[in-house]
Structure 1
Amino acid sequence: MQLIDIGANLTHETFDGDRDAVLQRARDAGVAQIVVTGASREHSPKALALARQHPGFLFATAGVHPHHATEYTEECDAELRALLAHPEVVAVGECGLDYFRDFSPRPAQRRAFERQLQIAVDTGKPLFLHQRDAHDDFVAVMKNFDGRIGPAVVHCFTGGRRELFECLDRDWFIGITGWLCDERRGAHLRELVRHIPADRLMIETDAPYLLPRTLRPMPKDRRNEPMHLPHIAEELARDRGESIEAAAASTTSNARAFFRLPA
Structure 2
Amino acid sequence: MNTYIDIGINLTNKQFYNEHDEIINRALDSGVEHIILTGTSVRGSRTSAEIAEEYPEILFSTAGIHPHDATSFAPENIRELRTLLKKDHVVSVGECGLDFDRDFSPRPIQEKCYQAQLELAIEVDKPLFLHERSAFKRFNEITDDYLSRLPEAVVHCFTGTLDEAKVYLDKGFYLGFTGAISDEKRFKQLEDVIKYTPLDRMMIETDAPFMLPKNMPRIRNRRNEPSFLPYVAQTIALFKRISLSEVAEETTETSRNFFRL
Q: C-alpha deviations, 1:109-147, integer Å up to 9, x for none?
A: 100000000000100000000001101111111101021
The residue that corresponds to 2:85 in the other structure is: 84
Aligned residue for 1:51? 52
C-alpha displacement at 1:213, in angstroms?
2.0
Which residue type is aligned with residue 248 of structure 2?
A
Query: Which residues of 2 match residues 128-143 of structure 1 at below 5 A?
Result: 128-143=129-144
Give the 3-state SS of the residue equivalent to 1:147 in structure 2. helix
**How far apart in 2 are the matches of 1:201 and 1:123?**
24
Identical counterparts, % of pairs: 44
Q: Which residue of 1 aligns with 2:179?
A: 178
Distance 1:156 1:59 in 2: 18
Equivalent residue for 2:149? Answer: 148
Whichever residue aligns with residue 157 of structure 2, its letter is C
Q: What is the SS of the residue equivalent to 1:10? A: coil
- In the TM superposition, what whole-angstrom CA distance separates every residue of 1:171-213 from its partner, at most 9, and x where no partner exists? 1000000011112211111122011112111000000011112
Alignment of 1:56-205 (within 5 A): 56-205=57-206
Report the Cα distance in structure 2 between the residues aligned to 1:129 and 1:210, rounded to whole angstroms: 17
Deviations 1:8-67 (A, max 9, x none): 111111111322101100000000101110011221001100110000000000000000
Give RMSD over aligned pairs. Answer: 0.8
> Equivalent residue for 2:223?
223
TM-score, scaled to structure 1: 0.97
1:247 is aligned to 247
What SS does the corresponding residue of 1:111 show, helix, strand or coil?
helix
Amino acid at match of 2:100: Y
Q: Which residue of 2 aligns with 1:236?
A: 236
Q: Return the alpha-carbon distance in structure 1 between the equivalents of residues 147 and 22 of structure 2.
A: 42
SS state at 2:249 partner: helix
Paired with 2:18 and 2:93, the residues of 1 have a C-alpha distance of 28
C-alpha distance in 1 between matches for 2:255 and 2:93: 15
Gaps of 5+ in 1: none
- Which range moves more in the overlay, 27-36 or 12-21? 12-21
SS in structure 1 of the partner of residue 147 of structure 2: coil
What's the counterpart of residue 22 of structure 1?
23
Distance 1:107 1:253 in 2: 37
Rounded Cα–Cα distance in structure 2 between residues aligned with 1:240 and 1:136: 29
Gaps of 5+ in 2: none
Give the Cα separation in 2 of the matches to 1:214 and 1:231. Answer: 7
In the other structure, the counterpart of 1:260 is 260
- Displacement of 1:4: 0.3
Match of 1:38 in 2: 39
Question: Cα distance, 1:70 vs. partner?
Answer: 0.7
Distance in 1 of aligned mates of 2:147 and 2:18: 43
The one-letter code of the counterpart of 1:99 is F
Equivalent-residue separation in structure 2 for 1:148 and 1:108 (angstroms) = 23
Q: Distance in 1 between matches of 2:76 and 2:17?
A: 28
**2 CA distance for matches of 1:181 and 1:161?**
16
- Which aligned runs of 4 or more in structure 1 are off by greater than 3 angstroms? none
Question: How many residue pairs are counted as aligned between the two chains?
Answer: 260
